[in-house]
Homo-oligomer: A and B are copies of this chain.
């Protein structure tokens, strides 16, 4: 049975278009919204209209920002010559929460994925190359997912920047802090042996 109300069905369809929200969950959520006041439901909807109109990206790193430069890029205490390349804004938040990184970011807005039709021109690679050229960057830390797509993006950027005088590093892959050796997969364990580090380096942490 379908409910014969186009406004209701439209709202359900819109909610269920989000990843992880099925038709039944969307139905429940819309019914939940209808228990609120009319103004509350309008505020809910208008917040997304407002989002579409007002959302701004930092003109330097493409992080989400209210102003022309985001709070990281406009912070004078941060290292201008060190850029951490990430896939999206969630990664910026995750790295900022570690308090271990004092450089700036570059948000690609995706990774190269032929399966999903995302090529180098669909993400902010050209803008990254421009920054490396113009801003006297000394090191680029690649912090993308350890997937095939992440590796392909890493390699593409590496190839494009080979000619420039910039050091390219990636974040360390290894066994997570607190993880037990016997439950670690062979690939990670193998790599963590290949990429072993001097013991003295861990003493300062």
Contact = CB atoms under 8 A, between A and B. Distances in A.
B49 A14 contact: no
Contacts of A11: 47-48, 50-51
Given A14-B44, A47-B11, A47-B45, A66 B6 contact: yes
Interface stretch (A23-31, A130-138, A142-150): A23-31
B29 A64 contact: no
A4 B8 CA distance: 33
A90 B7 CA distance: 17
Q: Is the interface of A mostly helix, strand, loop or mixed?
A: helix
Interface string A156-180: 0000000000000000000000000
Copies of this protein in the complex: 2
B66 A43 contact: no
A122 to B, nearest CB: 10
Interface residues of A, number: 60
Contacts of A51: 7-8, 10-11, 30, 33-34, 41, 45
B55 A34 contact: yes
Interface in A75-100: 88-90, 92-93, 96-97
B66 A31 contact: no
A52 B42 contact: yes
A42 to B, nearest CB: 5
A141 B4 CA distance: 24
A196 interface: no
Contacts of A38: 52-53
Interface of A: 1, 3-8, 10-11, 13-14, 17-21, 25, 27-35, 38-39, 41-56, 63-67, 70-71, 88-90, 92-93, 96-97, 109-110
Given A4-B71, A19-B28, 15 more contacts: A1-B93, A1-B97, A5-B64, A5-B66, A11-B48, A13-B47, A14-B44, A21-B29, A34-B64, A38-B52, A38-B53, A41-B51, A45-B45, A45-B46, A48-B48
